[in-house]
Structure 1
Amino acid sequence: MNNVFSYNADIEKNAYLNWRTSKHDHIHNMIVLADGFMSAATLLAKQVLLDNVDKKADLLIFPILFNANHGIEVYLKAISWSLNILNNTGKRFDPHHKLNKLLEKNISLVNTFENDSEKLKTFNSMIDPLEKYLNELSSKIESVTDKGKEVYKIDFSRYTLDVKNEPQFYINEFRNVVVDIENFIVVFESIHTSLNNIANHYLYYNEEN
């Protein structure tokens, strides 16, 4: 058995980690990884639809959701980094994992940078599916403790227990907690396209100015 990090004689059976990335462009590299995570989510979901007689969807939904959410996070951080450069803030991106807060930061940065009302209207239209999804997600994983501390359990697709060893939202539910895979693909392909276009738009704007 060969090492995992090794060549196959058939070039079509190799994956090159540094073919799409560049040591000179870290924001571009983040977009590459974000694209990969979101593509993995939808490709796996489509594969499930081809044959789910063995109910593999019940297992694969966890890596599907993890990839989708992590892809969103990396896209939003890449967009923030570009916009922080354009707005001369001296910052990169917020280091936390709260997707709704990362989107709020992006909206704020776009509103600071853009003066054209039509461009703002287009941006708002593009992120509408993402806003709706993140609101839905927050209703499942976000809560406030008795002491007023916000809890955001984005690890729900990685572990069945949270950091305090409490069950995630779907564990103790009596009724089925379900994801419509067909609808998931429609929603996340839309989100993926919008985030990729926005991320590349501000990246190229930076490079041209």
Structure 2
Amino acid sequence: MRCLYCHAVIHEEMSWSDLLFKRIEDPFCGICKSGLLEIKKENSCSVCSGKMEGSGTCGDCLIWNEHQMYHDVLHSNRSLYEYNQLLKEMIKRFKYNGDYAVAGCFRKKIIEEVKKLPRQTLLVPVPVSEERLQTRGFNQTEALLVMAGLKFECLLTRKNEEVSQAKKLKHDRHSGENPFKAIQQLNGENILLMDDLYTTGTTIRRAAHILKEAGAGEVRSLTIGR
């Protein structure tokens, strides 16, 4: 077995339980695994997974909750890793350099998180604009779910954007028209939004707002980086 990211050979012992029960293999070698910083729930915001001393709700989420349009639209966001240099390189290789297989690096963690969800939660990838889809060749959020072998529903569409969200200042991200549109009406279904990164929370909350307007129940989100 080789590391899905650096392709180094992984040496690990097999146990009887591994032979009797289907095991989700760890995709990373020891070096790559140690370079990724997992976000611990006990040291992060209960809403957005942002780093905190202790537990509770961070200042940013308290401000979001004061916003009339986005008050309580997002039940919670779970981010897997801190956005350090290694994760930045991995996302770049996957998202911008077209290395689709890198999405498989996060398969184990994504499956573990999905298993914790309330039953019958719909998995919904955050859509990219048609322009971005043509440029990249695939939607990176769908790729994460495909490589994890999970079924998902495309319940949102997205308008074209002249400037990428990643290149906008925080103030500019918060302002402007909501780029998302619901494809169908919902009937109280719980939703998990899948995205690659949580930066300011604007994208996730805009998508959650549209889903809530369409009749969704609780809307959660899962991202690789924070």
Would you say same fold, with TM above 0.5? no
Question: Whose radius of gyration is greater, 1 or 2?
Answer: 1
TM-score computed with the length of structure 1 as normaliser:
0.29
